Amino acid sequence: MSSKQTGALTFSTGSKAWAILFDALAVAFIYFMPAISHMLSFPVYMFEPMRIMLILALMHTRKQNAYILALTLPIVSYLISAHPMFIKSLLIAIELSVMVFLFYFLVERIHRFAAIFASIWLSKLLYYGLKYLAIMTIMPSEPVVGIPLLLQLLTSVVFSIYVYIMFRGDGARRA
């Protein structure tokens, strides 16, 4: 574990101070996402910035912190920018929380690359199932799939490679 001493706070990847700093950075990233997208004239949300923050949290903070981010980032995004709509924010919070659970469950049983890839796609399947039910009942004009599936597959592979690289030489991650 790496750490830096700053005054009375120690910022190691497993410390509470690091988790708080990481959460603040993650929320700021999501807060500025609309402005970043506007500046770049590109829909940055297509690269799943909440999932990026969550995977970084999985690798660099504690399990509890990953759950906190999974539950709060979609809600913070809704409160800041009204995007995505509230019901989708709740569905995304469920999806990301399930992804965290599945990752920690699977990484003890299968290869870490397969564990993160499977946790991403199993949670996506749950999300799309719940979203379909929401479309059938309360969101009739919403498409089931908003981000092209090929792009989602590519980002999932990139995220999985990152997790694989982060695990090399580090037998087991923090729980």
pLDDT in tens, 143-173: 889 888 999 999 999 999 999 998 885 644 4
Whole-number pLDDT of residue 92: 96
Whole-number pLDDT of residue 41: 84
Whole-number pLDDT of residue 170: 60
> Which DSSP string do the residues of 111-153 spell out, in sequence order?
-HHHHHHHHHHHHHHHHHHHHHHHHHHT-TTS-S--S-HHHHH
Q: Are 71 and 91 in contact (CB under 8 A)?
A: no
Q: Which band of pLDDT confidence, cut at 50, 70 and 90, is reported for residue 14?
A: low
Q: Which band of pLDDT confidence, cut at 50, 70 and 90, is reported for residue 1?
A: very low
What is the end-to-end Cα distance of the chain in Å, rounded? 14
Q: Are 119 and 99 in contact (CB under 8 A)?
A: yes
Q: What is the mean pLDDT of residues 120-140?
A: 94
Tell me the pLDDT of the chain averaged across its residues: 86
Q: State residue 7 phi and psi, 5-degree precision.
A: 60, -125
**What's the CA gap between 69 and 165, in Å, rounded?**
22
Q: Which residues pair with 9 in a beta bridge?
A: 6
Please provide the CATH number assigned to the domain covering 3-167.
Answer: 1.10.1760
Whole-number pLDDT of residue 171: 47
Whole-number pLDDT of residue 4: 45
List, in order, residues 6 or more apart from 83 with CB less than 8 Å away. Answer: 34, 77
Whole-number pLDDT of residue 169: 58
Query: Could you tell me which of 120, 114, 119 has the C-alpha nearest to residue 167?
Result: 114
Q: What are the domain boundaries of the chain?
A: 3-167
Q: What is the mean pLDDT of residues 112-116?
A: 95
Whole-number pLDDT of residue 174: 44
Q: Indicate the pTM of the whole model.
A: 0.82
> Which DSSP string do the residues of 8-45 spell out, in sequence order?
TEEEETTSHHHHHHHHHHHHHHHHHHHHHHHHHTS-GG
Q: Are 4 and 39 in contact (CB under 8 A)?
A: no
Q: Which band of pLDDT confidence, cut at 50, 70 and 90, is reported for residue 13?
A: low
- What is the tens place of the pLDDT at every residue in 23-67? 888 888 887 877 787 788 888 888 899 999 999 999 988 899 999
